[in-house]
Amino acid sequence: MATFSDLFCEFEVQLGKALLPLDPRARSAERLVSTHAVYLELARSAARAIFQENGCAALADPVTLYPTLDALGRVKQQMHDSSMLDLGAAEFLEQLGQVAIAALESPAEPLITAAASLPSRPKASNRRRV
């Protein structure tokens, strides 16, 4: 299971250090995003929201997909409601969501059909024995 800091490392790798640089000395969710980030306040708001929505108490706590996407959606809605959401900020949040999906989505479990779980039996012949 991915941790909060693992997810943000993945954000940094996928989006690039120019867009979302991390501070390896950070001790809090907000400070994990370096002051050199292009969307500093937006990235820190997203970090805070993801941290809270996943119930994290430390950077090494696990995060899951749906709470993470809920947090990103809430940040986007808040930005929209305050008329601060421009095209670049909206695209940044969408990219974070796409990376989160790729990083946190668990592979689909194979479906087990009823027939597959039954012990195999030899096929009965339709012919009658005389």
- Does residue 28 belong to any structural domain of this protein? yes
pLDDT of the residue at 113: 42
Counted domains in the chain: 1
Contacts of 103 (CB under 8 A, 6+ apart): 2, 6, 7, 10
pLDDT in tens, 37-68: 999 999 999 999 999 999 999 999 999 999 99
In a domain, 42, yes or no: yes
**Mean of the per-residue pLDDT values for the chain?**
87
Domain assignment of residue 16, given as a range: 4-117
In a domain, 107, yes or no: yes
- pTM across the whole model: 0.80
Residue 123 within a domain: no
Nearest to 61 by CA among 8, 114, 13, 103: 8
Radius of gyration of the chain (CA): 23
Residue 75 lies in a domain: yes
